[in-house]
């Protein structure tokens, strides 16, 4: 096969990035291993424990427990599954902000739980008063997002923890995208800041690992037991993952990336990405566009649809929020030069 994969040089919409060279190399080396069968593939299984130990350190978890999932979708589905298993009610409900990722809709569908979607406020964060009136004895889980897909916002997690506790519900934090930048900010988002029970934190997004590498972390390994099924003909006795056979590439590349970059490399990447986001926000504002301030490295701006389409026709991979704003994710592959060239095209193609 001669086809080359798409280059990253015009990709501004993705939450994935070019894997770090050490992550790419590790992924290739472990491509044919299966961490789903630890009895047969003990090396990758030991690496998975290392991955969880480092993810735990990043996320303030004292006794790391969890596993490397195929992505944020699987981790979110599994978190909802844990909450459903724990719930004392026959109608378990998940209370989540309107800003939550669509993977929770898949979770609700697959698991037969109800969703209660709470609006966000003017700052694009979950409305706490609305959460207080939404929770009740059927609430199995409250979802907080730490780095929303559309605006990069962080919900008030300690407050949500209190509300979840008041009805004996679990608190899940979706830090799929934000988890590798938040440690360098003042946001309160992790296990040490609030009574967080489960968390999604994906090495294959800001963590610069190769796809597929998502992360599910749990406060206590008992929570993981809710997912375990017996595996009679494997040498190990149970499996907590949703997938069966899975590539060791994601696990190995996550370990390699985190070994290389945590914490100093991720810190300098965060600073670079955040500076880029602020630069772009500033440039767009000066041109008269309405910009949603980037609290994390993600910029949303009200660019007319025709301009947006013209930029896409130039090959820019950009996306829009539900309300139609242009959305630029300042991932590690997004350089200042790339953004400058994007802005030059915007100036040239601008339709007002
Ligand atoms: N949670 C959050 C907060 C997310 O932003 C995403 C993905 C997920 C969970 C789900 O993660 P997986 O896609 O790993 O299962 N957010 C992006 C989105 O759906 C993913 C994405 C990635 C989109 C690359 C486009 C793209 O080119 O918008």
pLDDT digits (tens, 9 = 90+) for 36-46: 999 999 999 99
* Structure ipTM: 0.94
Tell me the backbone φ, ψ of residue 2, rounded to 5 degrees: -105, -5
Task: Determine if ligand 1 sits within 6 Å of the CB of residue 13.
Answer: yes
Cα distance between residue 201 and residue 223, in whole Å: 17
Residue 219, CA distances (Å) to 58, 67, 82, 164 in order:
13, 12, 12, 15
Best residue among 176, 206, 331 to mutate for probing ligand 1, ranked by most atoms within 8 Å of CB: 176
| Ligand 1 and 71: CB distance under 6 A | yes
Mean pLDDT value across residues 221-248: 90
DSSP 3-state of 253: helix
Burial of 320 (0-12, 13-18, 19+ CB in 10 A): middle
Whether residue 352 is predicted with pLDDT greater than 70 in this model: the reply is no
Contact of 103 with 109, CB cutoff 8 Å: no
What are 45's two structure tokens? Answer: 């299984």
Looking at the chain, the whole-number percentage of residues with pLDDT higher than 70 is 99
* 3-state percent breakdown (helix, strand, coil) of the chain, nearest 5: 40, 15, 45
Query: DSSP assignment, residue 205?
Result: T
CA distances from 86 to 32, 58, 113, 175 (A): 35, 26, 13, 22
Cα–Cα distance measured from residue 43 to residue 40, given in angstroms and rounded to the nearest whole number: 9
To the question of pTM greater than 0.90 for the whole model, the response is yes
């Amino acid at each position: 096969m001669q086809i080359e994969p798409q280059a990253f040089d015009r990709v501004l919409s993705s939450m994935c990035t070019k894997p770090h060279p050490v992550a790419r190399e590790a992924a290739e080396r472990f491509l044919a291993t299966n961490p789903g069968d630890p009895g047969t593939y003990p090396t990758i299984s030991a690496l998975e424990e290392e991955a969880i130990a480092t993810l735990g350190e990043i996320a303030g978890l004292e006794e790391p427990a969890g596993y490397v999932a195929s992505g944020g979708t699987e981790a979110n589905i599994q978190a909802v599954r844990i909450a459903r298993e724990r719930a004392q009610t026959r109608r378990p409900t998940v209370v989540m902000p309107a800003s939550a990722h669509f993977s929770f809709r898949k979770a609700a569908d697959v698991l037969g739980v109800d969703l209660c979607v709470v609006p966000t406020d003017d700052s694009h964060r979950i409305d706490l008063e609305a959460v207080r009136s939404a929770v009740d004895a059927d609430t199995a889980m409250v979802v907080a997002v730490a780095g929303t897909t559309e605006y990069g916002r962080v919900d008030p997690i300690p407050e949500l923890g209190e509300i979840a506790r008041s009805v004996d519900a679990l608190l899940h934090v979706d830090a799929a995208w934000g988890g590798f930048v938040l440690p360098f900010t003042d946001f309160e988002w992790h296990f040490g800041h609030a009574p967080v029970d489960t968390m999604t934190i994906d090495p294959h997004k800001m963590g610069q690992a190769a796809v597929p590498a998502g992360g599910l972390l749990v406060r206590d390994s008992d929570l993981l037991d809710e997912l375990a099924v017996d595996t009679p003909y494997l040498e190990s006795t149970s499996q907590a993952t949703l997938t069966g056979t899975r590539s060791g590439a994601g696990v190995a590349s996550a370990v390699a990336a985190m070994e290389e970059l945590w914490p100093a490399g991720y810190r300098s990447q965060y600073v670079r990405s955040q500076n880029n986001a602020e630069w772009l926000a500033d440039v767009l504002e000066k041109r008269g566009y309405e910009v949603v301030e980037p609290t994390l490295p993600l910029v949303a701006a009200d660019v007319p649809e025709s301009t947006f389409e013209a930029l896409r026709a130039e090959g820019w991979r950009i996306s829009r929020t539900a309300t139609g704003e242009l959305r630029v994710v300042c991932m590690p592959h997004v350089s200042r030069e790339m953004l400058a060239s994007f802005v030059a095209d915007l100036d040239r193609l601008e339709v007002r």
